[in-house]
Structure 1
Amino acid sequence: MTLFRQIILVFTLFFLVMLAVVLAINFSESRAYIEEKLYTNAQNTASTLAVTMSQSDGDVTKMSVIADAVFDTGYYRRIALEDMRGRLIFEKSRKSRPAVPAWFLSLVKLDIPRAYAQVSAGWRPLGMLEVVPDTTVSVEYLYTLFKKIVGVFAVSALVGVLIIALLLRMILRPLRTMESQAEGVLQNRFILNRQLPKTLELKRVTEAINALVERMEQMHEKLVEETRRVRELEYRDALTGLYNRRFFLVRYDEYLKAQDSRAAGVVVGLRLCNTAEANKRAGFDSVNRLIAAVAEAAKEKGATVEEAVAARISGVEMALLLPGLDIDRGEALAEEILHRCRKILDGNAEAGPVLYLALAVVPYDPVTPKEKFFSTLDVALNAAASQNRDAVRALRYEEGLPTRKSTWRQLISRAIEEKALVPKLTDIFTEKGGEVSATLRFDLPDGEGGLIPYRVYGPTMAELGLFADYARYLFDYLLGRDDLQCGRVFVEMPMAYLDTTHHFDELLGAARKLRRRGRSLVVALGQGDLLRKGGDAAEVVADELRKKGVGLAVVRFDADTEMLQLLHRVRPGYVKMDVAQFLDMGDGLRNSLLLLLKSVGATLLIGGVSSPEELERLEKCGEGFVVV
């Protein structure tokens, strides 16, 4: 029972008791007064009538007429004259019919007084006159008084309830704010109540809650900062700020096993040549500054590609891992990097003239062994460096897939229209509740009996603006399949799809229909998409999905510093990380990350597990994650 209801209950009981007391006192006093007044009036009337009748010389008719005049006033129930022997001479009487409820008559019982006076003719007594007053007017008066008292009390009670409601609303407002603060802490939203209540007790409690929230916020920020610091120590190069070789290898392995566009692309290698001579001319510090500036320029150019990774491989070598990029676009980007870095080198009059840049562009894919890829990259860099001047060397190969966008558009559109896409459930896992979850994708028929994985055609489909058609195809498939053996379905979507209002509404409508069938939908967004969206906008999207009962998952998660800070705002239900990076983490970083994800209510999904050895190592890492 709420505090308001408890107070109203006590208030109502108090008012009822007060009403009963007031009615009892009032009716007791009023009844005594009325009874006394009725008797006095009846006695005065009896005495007056007796004197008047005594002047009638015993004429019964005259005495009856005199009695009629008084009886017709309506204030008397009975007027009767009896002789001295008790025989009735005449009687005037009526029944009392007051206009009040029967229950009130039974509640209010007036003692009806009787007045007597002697009628005589000279000195000779004629008889005794009896006068009984009528209580109708008195009872109706008491009933009117009762209604007025009850009405006054009812109005007073209503006003009292309104006043109590307003007072409670004012008093409990800080408590509602405290409730919001507590709920916010559970969701890592730290709200401070700047408007302290005037009530001293509530003011103290509010100050204590504010201090607790500030402390929790500091602890959360410390946890994020500690996770970020450990990650920087493990994966960041101190001089350039790029990732190190260790991180590059982890992400390269992750991309090769990915079920999306990251599985194929190009790597742009960069080598700063002739640094020994430059060190002699300009000094180590000057050359180090040039290396840092070249690294920053290469990183900025590579950032134009989604999910790109920039790393320092060795002292003078850097690499850009560019998923989803073909060899032509990779070579064009390498030329842009070369021109940008050349300007930086020319800005140093001592070291610039002797330094030159060697760039290599090498494609990667899941088919090419890692050892062969890196040896090929090294050969290409050596070939570019052997020219003793700025040079770009690209290694081309044929993929056997469509190269023209028009061909891709025709192939994808036809498959959607003909409902020829082949469904594929991946990343299947079961949580503690027993509900089966899986990611739904579709392979694309190539027209020659083969299938093109989603990871290959997906980026091109999004670039061609066909994802909305693909999403409708996916929703129709889900709504038409009651035999799908999973209760929660993950669907990867680009943020650009959610940015369109009618597409977002289509998603919510499909999710609502799926819930009616006992199945839930989880939207999987890439970490890069969320970071590009920005904190405020990403939080709005996440909140809207959550309100409509649609889950949110962050895929391609790598514990990036910006993403760690964004986690408490978007509060995803799931975060997916590749097994290679998770196992490569040190214990300190891994434990901090698991603690941080637990604090925001996110379940960590570990994907890409392909060997018993990896499963064995994951078992040694303890709990706090789910292998998919």
Structure 2
Amino acid sequence: MARMQSLALPFRQRGLISLRSLLLLYTGSLLLLILLASLAFSFDRFRDYVSDQLEGHARDGATAVGLSLSNAIDGRDPVASESLIDSVFDSGRYLSMVYFDHSGEWVAGRQTTVSGAGVPSWFVTLADLPLPVGRAEVVRGWSRLGYVEVVSHPGRAYRDLWHVTIGMIGGTMVVGTVGLLLLFWMVRRLLKPLKALEKQAEALGRRDFRKRVDVNSTRDLNQVTRAMNQMADDLGALFEGQAKLIQHLRRVSNEDTVTGLASRSAFDQRLKVEVESEERAAPGVLFLIQLDDFTLYNTTYGRSEADRLLLSIAGVINQFVRDHTGAFAGRRSGAEFAIFLPGVTQADGIVWCHQLLEELDGVYADRASPMDVMVHGGVAQALEDRNARELMVAADEALRQAQTRPQTDCQAADPERDGHHNLETWRAIIRWAIDHDQLSLWLQPMVVNGNGHLVYHQVFSRIESDEGELRAAVFVPIAERFGMIAEIDQLVVRHALVLLERQPQASLALTLGASSVASDSFRQDLIECLESAGPSRKRLWVGISEQTVHHHRTAVGLLVRALNRLDVAVLVDRFGVGGVPFSYLRNLRFQGLRIDNSFIHGIDSHEENRFYLESVVAIAHSRGVKVFATGVETAKEYDVLCALGVDGAMGYHLGRPFQADNDN
């Protein structure tokens, strides 16, 4: 299996500090530096204060002892002097107290060693208080006996300094913690719009213009948020304008201006693809319906009233088409309409045609009263030996037969031919294939324009029957009618995930049925299955038809968001049919569009479709959405698509389907 081009992911810078972290780091560091400087300054000032106290205490002690030795006792008596010094020294407030004679000889004294008095030794070493010496003279009358030197004990000073330091550190930590918390709160509050702006920028990167920033902060940030909101509004308005433009182009190129149904050329082109394409060719029936005496009605009631009648008729036909999966309708000319129902037998077609004609007859008769009016229809079966032009001729012949009847009626082109199983046989074939897991995967390459590399392989399912393998285009419309498409889709998803696990380089794309997407249980089972598949699910593309997006908007939204969370790419399949508004791309994250092959067929000679596709590519690319083309059957078609810049193309010209188990 060839590799798939990886989806472009938004570039993320890694390892760079955020603005909030930078502000917190800088301001917090500055706050801590100020607090530490204040703590160091306070410690130094108190240390100086304690040193001054020690010096004063030593000086006072020396003076007191000197006076006592001079006057209270006879300083010439060593024993008396020793007793006096002992009594004073025993107070424990002195480190050293020594009495020297006038020649410097020791007379009496006491000394001890420095102790921290319960203070850690490292703190004593750190503080390293100076030990000033207090000195006083000892005299007797006019005779100088000697001097006293006193050193105060620093233990209490170290203890006081230790307690004060602990208090300052605790206070600094409290102030610092409170300050950092207030700083964090303030910075977070001030920069809160930046987080919202980041999310808004990411949303803009995903082409989601709905995100708004309503957080108020500083004047500068408020100006930035207003500018970002204005830019999002402008981009959203631009996209809305582009969506309206592409919708207008689609209407001009492919829709009837009065009824909104497909134009004659658009219907014929889609019918040709449905009937003649090898992969899509399937059983089905074509209705041609005409209002009798419409020219007289137009003359009698006027053109405006005639247009309103046609619009009412188109409303009934549109409802009929919505009730039949895969059906499509168009206005051919005047009051003639065409409807194609894939996967329908002629017998069922005749019954449904009668029911539709009765409803149309009621609308026509009410508006035309008192005129007598009728509605006629022709039914023709799509057969393998009948191309689109021959099918149209057969239906037209049946319509002419019906118009010979004097009342509302429809006729079949080949009443003796059905050519396909009846409904119960179809039900049995599909049920047996589901119950016995008789489903095979067929793959067709979607190639990158210009280099032939693969984007993915499109998955088609086929079931086994007594007639051989039946293509999806044959049995899927019938399975939708019987409510069995969800079971088939579950089998396809499981088989595809097994194939992805077995082939690590493969990338696959599959399309889900409308009933499957609308089913809550199916969506839940699908998400659980993808979650258990692991990383291999990232190589899967899930397609949802544009009609399904339009008619099941809520269910599609839930599924698309769940798939986005699992990194599973989602694309809109059969894009362009049915006149669905383009605005859903604004609210849902799709990674790709797959243009319906009715727009691709003959695009080299179809200027309107070429211009339409060119506009789709430009708008989709502006939203970051890839555009793929299907049904490429000629080299000229492929050349035009390459020139238009589509991201990938698929068709028999580029590669035919092959069974998944093959080595192709």
- Matched letter for residue 571 of structure 1: R
Deviation string 1:274-328 (CA, Å, 9 cap, x unpaired) is 3344455545554444333323322322221123222111122101122233333
Q: How far off its partner does 1:132 sit?
A: 0.6
Residue 137 of structure 2 aligns to a residue whose secondary structure is: strand
Shift of the 560–151 alpha-carbon distance from structure 1 to 2, 3 Å rule, reads farther
SS at 2:115 equivalent: coil
Structure 1, 149-158 or 215-224: larger mean CA deviation: 149-158
- Say whether 1:597 aligns with 2:616: no
Aligned partners of 1:318 and 1:219: how far apart in 2?
37
Q: In the alignment, which residue of structure 2 is the partner of 1:384? A: 402
SS in 1 for 2:231: helix
Counterpart contact for 1:415–1:444, Cα < 8 Å: no
Following TM superposition, by how much is the alpha carbon of 1:428 offset from its aligned partner in structure 2, in angstroms? Answer: 3.8
Q: Does 1:554 align with 2:575?
A: no
Alignment partner, residue 526 of structure 2:
507
Residue 658 of structure 2 is aligned to residue 624 of structure 1: no
- How much does 1:131 deviate? 0.9
Q: Find the partner of 1:148 among 167, 172, 189.
A: 167
The counterpart of 1:92, out of the listed 68, 91, 110, is: 110
User: SS of 1:609's equivalent?
Assistant: coil
How far off its partner does 1:222 sit?
0.8
Contact 2:256 2:263 in 1 (8 A): yes
1:35: which partner in 2?
Answer: 51
- 3-state SS of paired residue (1:368): coil
> Which one of 498, 512, 524 corresponds to residue 493 of structure 1?
512
Report if the CA contact (8 A) 1:521-1:551 is conserved: yes
Equivalents in 2 of 1:367, 1:107: separation in Å? 106
Identity, % of aligned positions: 20
Q: Sort the Cα spacing of 1:469 and 1:513 in 2 relative to 1 into closer, same or farther, 3 A.
A: same
1:381 to partner: Cα distance:
0.8
Q: Are the counterparts in 1 of residues 193 and 213 from structure 2 also a CA contact under 8 Å?
A: no
SS in structure 2 opposite 1:451? strand
Query: How far apart are residue 47 of structure 1 and its match?
Result: 1.7
After the TM superposition, which of the residue ranges 287-296 and 40-49 deviates more from structure 2? 287-296
SS at structure 1 position matched to 2:629: strand
CA distance in 2, matches of 1:285, 1:28: 101
Residues matched between the structures, number: 621
| Letter paired with 1:40 | G
1:469/1:101 CA distance change after superposition, 3 Å: farther
Distance 1:205 1:447 in 2: 69
In the alignment, residue 35 of structure 1 is paired with which amino acid?
S
The range that moved more, 50-59 or 84-93, is 50-59
| CA drift at 1:548 | 1.4
1: CA distance, partners of 2:87 / 2:342: 119
Task: Find out whether 1:608 has 2:631 as its counterpart.
Answer: yes
Aligned to 1:190: 209
Partner of 1:132: 151
Residue number in structure 1 paired with 2:178: 159
Alpha-carbon distance in structure 1 between the residues aligned to 2:367 and 2:520: 51
- 1:245 and 1:473 map into 2 onto residues whose CA distance is 36
TM, length-normalised to structure 1:
0.89
> CA deviation digits over 1:181-222, x for unaligned, max 9?
333333332236474625322232222222222221211111
Q: Hey, what does 1:73 align to over in structure 2?
A: 91
Per-residue deviation, 1:30: 2.5
Q: Is the Cα contact below 8 Å between 1:245 and 1:313 reproduced in 2?
A: yes
Distance 1:286 1:113, change over 3 A: closer
Pairwise CA RMSD = 3.1
State how far apart, in whole Å, the 2-side matches of 1:130 and 1:56 are.
Answer: 18
Query: How far off is 1:545 after superposition?
Result: 0.9
- Name the SS for the 1:305 alignment partner: coil
For 1:402 and 1:411, the matched residues in 2 are separated by 16
In 2: Cα distance, 1:12 partner to 1:276 partner: 87
The letter for the 2-side match of 1:14 is L
Q: 1:543 aligns with which of 553, 561, 566?
A: 561
Task: Quote the residue 2:432 is aligned against.
Answer: 411
CA distance in 2, matches of 1:570, 1:518: 20
1:231 is the counterpart of 2:231: no
Deviates more, 1:69-78 or 1:102-111: 102-111
Structure 2 stretches of 5 or more lacking a match?
1-16, 651-664
Give 1:313's aligned residue: 332
For residues 111-131 of structure 1, give each alpha carbon's deviation from its aligned partner in whole angstroms, at most 9, with x where no partner exists: 211012234566655432221
What are the within-5 Å matches in structure 2 for residues 438-587 of structure 1?
438-447=457-466, 450-461=468-479, 463-465=482-484, 467-468=486-487, 471-472=490-491, 474-475=493-494, 478-479=497-498, 482-484=501-503, 486-498=505-517, 503-517=522-536, 520-534=539-553, 536-558=554-576, 560-582=578-600, 583=603, 584=606, 585-587=608-610
Q: Which residue of 2 aligns with 1:220?
A: 239
Residue type of the alignment partner of 2:46 = S
The 1:103–1:503 alpha-carbon spacing in structure 2 relative to 1, beyond 3 Å, is: farther
Cα separation, partners in 2 of 1:424 and 1:117, compared to 1, 3 Å: same
What residue in structure 1 maps to residue 3 of structure 2? none
User: Structure 1: which amino acid aligns with 2:22?
Assistant: Q
Query: Residues 228-256 of structure 1, C-alpha deviation per residue, up to 9 Å, x if partnerless?
Result: 11211112222222221011012213333
Counterpart in the other structure of 2:6: none
Q: Deviations for 1:95-138, whole angstroms, at most 9, x for unmatched residues?
A: 22224455544443332110122345666554322211122222
Residues 38-437 of structure 1: pairs in structure 2 closer than 5 A? 38-54=54-70, 55-57=72-74, 58-98=76-116, 99-101=118-120, 104-120=123-139, 125-191=144-210, 193=212, 195=214, 197=216, 199-256=218-275, 263-279=282-298, 281-348=300-367, 352-353=371-372, 355-364=373-382, 367-395=385-413, 396=415, 397-401=417-421, 403-404=423-424, 407-416=428-437, 420-430=438-448, 436-437=455-456
| CA displacement 1:485-514 (0-9 Å, x = unmatched) | 753221222354355555434433443454
Following superposition, the deviation at residue 374 of structure 1 comes to: 1.2
Q: Aligned with 1:562: secondary structure? A: coil
Q: Which amino acid aligns with 2:18?
A: T
Report the CA distance between 1:346 and its aligned residue: 2.1
Q: What SS does the aligned partner of 1:322 have?
A: strand
Question: Equivalent residue for 2:4?
Answer: none
User: Relative to 1, partners in 2 of residues 1:303 and 1:120: Cα closer, same or farther, differing over 3 Å?
Assistant: same
The normalised TM-score by structure 2 is 0.85
Taking a change above 3 Å as real, the CA distance of residues 495 and 359 of structure 1, as seen in their structure-2 partners, is closer
